[in-house]
Amino acid sequence: MLPFMEPRNISASMTTRKHLSKKAFKKAEAIDNSWLFGQHAVAEALKNPAREANRLIVTRNSARDLPSNLPLEPEILEPKNISAILPQGAVHQGLGLQVSPLAEPDLEDTCANPDPAHPVVVLDQVTDPHNVGAIMRTAAAFGARAIVTTMRHSPEISGTLAKVASGAVEHLPYIRAGNLSEAMVELQNLGYHLIGLAEEGEAALGDLAPFGAVAIVLGAEGTGLRQKTRTKCDQLAKLPTQPPIGSLNVSNAAAVALYEVVRSQS
């Protein structure tokens, strides 16, 4: 088993999908993608000038903690009424914000002028929004430049992902490339050294320090990095995991890798 795999978590939305028609599921998915919920996700979205907010629903208790200079008037509702509006199962903490999506970032514009202190994270078909949200939160905390992932087989920015990311979606560009191999070549042309995490890596990631400008490439869901993705990496490295638990969740692997890269700059 590769040590950097994403577990096959079944999200509530995937479970629900089994009981919905295709049309009904797409409608439910669109609703989920238009609402942010939870204290940090909503607070950071309200502070983001690039984010268009359309409706803010809050409980009376949560309204007391809102800043005075809001871009729109909040609606005071009972918790059960907020739950009825938001996607099923949303842990909203008394806050919901209906938003328009952020503009799609451009890879070249976002990742130009590489800086060793600001690595890029590349995700090869990481599908679970909880894992992607956790990676995004960690990446933002360690000063990553962007997350680059696939257009297919990766989650859109949804309320669930944004809540797990704890506001990081407002600060960290999330680039979904139509062709991941081409995006990786583009990163190389911009000056990034691509390090893929895999069990058969010749060296431990920490042994490669000090790092220059790097992009850390992580795989997912039982297969790890796809073969084509491996061949596009400049180097494969491993984390020094040990038996009897030799594998890490992909979000944990991302956290360890980012720590190693950023620590080498200090």
Q: Are residues 216 and 124 in the same domain?
A: yes
- Mean pLDDT of the region 10-23: 39
- Domain end position, chosen among 78, 99, 120: 99
Does the pLDDT of residue 4 top 80, yes or no?
no
Quick one: angle between helices 250-263 and 129-141, nearest 10?
10
- What are the pLDDT digits (tens) for 190-246? 999 999 999 888 899 999 999 999 999 999 867 789 999 999 999 999 998 888 887
**Spatial distance between the Cα atoms of 227 and 215, rounded to a whole number of angstroms:** 17
CA torsion through residues 203, 241, 209, 250, sign? positive
Does the pLDDT of residue 10 top 90, yes or no?
no
Q: Which of 221, 266, 161, 259 is nearest to 4 (CA)?
A: 221
Q: Are residues 117 and 226 in the same domain?
A: yes
Range of the domain at 124: 107-263
At 33 the pLDDT is 62
Residue 58 belongs to some domain of the structure: yes
- Mean pLDDT of the region 87-93: 94
Q: Tell the residue number behind the tokens 């139509």, with chain if given.
A: 178
- Domain end position, chosen among 99, 124, 145: 99
CATH number assigned to the domain comprising residue 258: 3.40.1280.10
**Spatial distance between the Cα atoms of 220 and 251, rounded to a whole number of angstroms:** 10
At 1 the pLDDT is 34
Residue 2 belongs to some domain of the structure: no
Does the pLDDT of residue 26 top 80, yes or no?
no
Does the pLDDT of residue 18 top 70, yes or no?
no
